[in-house]
Amino acid sequence: MHKLALFILSALLLQGCYEFTKPSNELKRILQEGKIVIATEYGANSYFLQNDIPSGFEYELASGFAQFIGVELEIKPFYNNSLMLKQLQNENIDIIASQFSFAPETLNQYKLGPAYQYYSQQVVIHRSQRKLSDINDISGKVYVQRYSQQAAIMQKHHKSVDVNRLNWQQVEQYDDEELLLLVAERKIDATIANSALVNVMRRRYPEIKMGLDLETSSAQHWLMHINQDDSLLGALLEYFGELQSSGEFSRLQEKYFGHIREFDYVDTRAFIAAIETDLPQYQPWFEQYSGNFDWQLLAATSYQESHWEKHARSPTGVRGLMMLTLPTAKEVGITSRLDPEQSIRGGATYLRNLYDRIPARISDPDKIYFALAAYNLGLGHVEDARVLTQRKGFDPDLWVDVKQHLPLLKQKKYYQNARYGFARGDVAVKYVENIRRYYDSLMYITNATASAEESEIDIN
């Protein structure tokens, strides 16, 4: 243990200058092969395909690590966690990078990377059910995944089970997302899931709710083979240390989790209904005029602006699907703000103009977030917020930092020194976060619909 502590301390002290020129064993093998094999699970918080492009929090972390040590990444996504563990035991993969909450006894069989996230575990029930006062109040049919921390929790609290009141099972045929869907469809009475996944999935399945927060802190680690030497662990320590110090880890957390903490059941239900009833008449124009943006982003912006009501009008005089001002309409060359096609074309042009005026050094998705904030607030106020962010010692090119300072433009001591003066920055922050939530839901629903249609075509 003393030697391991010295190794970890040395790795941290050498952060930023370790060249990996003399690695031992495992890391040396990976560098010589020029490839690292990292496994993860399919899912909203780990790995998924968005417009056929690999995405996901764990995928981006894995891709960053491969780049950090200068090798290619081979990502292996799994549907079955036990198979993923077996592949690591057989040394067919180098690392498991997963949002799955493995049971403590499972983690003890592997070498763990540094802890990089902490979640609570939540009992999830149908919205029609009453909240629970204690875990022992769980009743009915309860499924949790095998090898999971959730299964360990159930074993701990229900050693002697009243089979007439509670029927809980460890399952492998369903993943965590599917278990939440079973709760939403009332096919089971409850499951347990980590808080981050619940926050994401209730946007897709609004009928689920948190019945009890177990306040059980769950640390996320990457897993390696128990017999590995510490060379790969040392590289991981340096990588995650650099992610934290550079602000990149905060940016990734903001991208995938920063907008999902708030939830409005009524609004979510209304949005899902509008996708079915209102969106089809406008979708062809969103697709036609979206340009380099995802059409779903343009549609989400329109829903935030007008709830897809073509005759929408605000007290300030903005009108139409994209809620354009009269000067903006003239600027983008449209003659009728109430004409749906013209409004969508004009809104898309205006959003693109704002996007192009954001400094080129800012990368997506932050650049898109700034453009959306400017659509709501005006580019000048967004620039004021970026200047204020920098003055306070934060990064003006990161949305995660700027969104903390935008609301300050409502305070006299800040806006009196700002070039463009007073602004309701808190409204702009909520505006952007709402669009991001609508966009996520719309991407999921439209992709799921497209997959179902392809499957039907294949069958026929």
Catalytic residues: 305
Q: Measure the CA–CA gap between 226 and 77, rounded to whole angstroms.
A: 21
Q: Which residues contact 293 (CB under 8 A, 6 or more apart)?
A: 348, 351, 352, 368
- Tell me how crowded residue 24 is: count the other CB atoms within 10 A of its CB: 12
Burial of 205 (0-12, 13-18, 19+ CB in 10 A): buried
Q: Which residues contact 204 (CB under 8 A, 6 or more apart)?
A: 441, 444, 445
Q: Measure the CA–CA gap between 9 and 21, rounded to whole angstroms.
A: 19
Q: Does residue 392 contact residue 413 with C-beta atoms inside 8 Å?
A: no
**For 283-388, where are the E strands, in sequence order?**
none
Closest to 374 in 3D by CA, of 394, 356, 393: 356
**Which two structure tokens, joined as six digits, stand for 288?**
């036609």
H helices within 247-339, ranges in order?
248-257, 265-277, 279-289, 295-306, 326-332
Q: What is the DSSP letter of 137?
A: G
Q: Measure the CA–CA gap between 416 and 421, rounded to whole angstroms.
A: 6
Closest to 230 in 3D by CA, of 23, 13, 411: 23
Cis omega (within 30 of 0) on the bond before 365? yes
Q: Does residue 316 contact residue 254 with C-beta atoms inside 8 Å?
A: no
**Which two structure tokens, joined as six digits, stand for 10?**
């040395």
Q: Measure the CA–CA gap between 68 and 439, rounded to whole angstroms.
A: 31
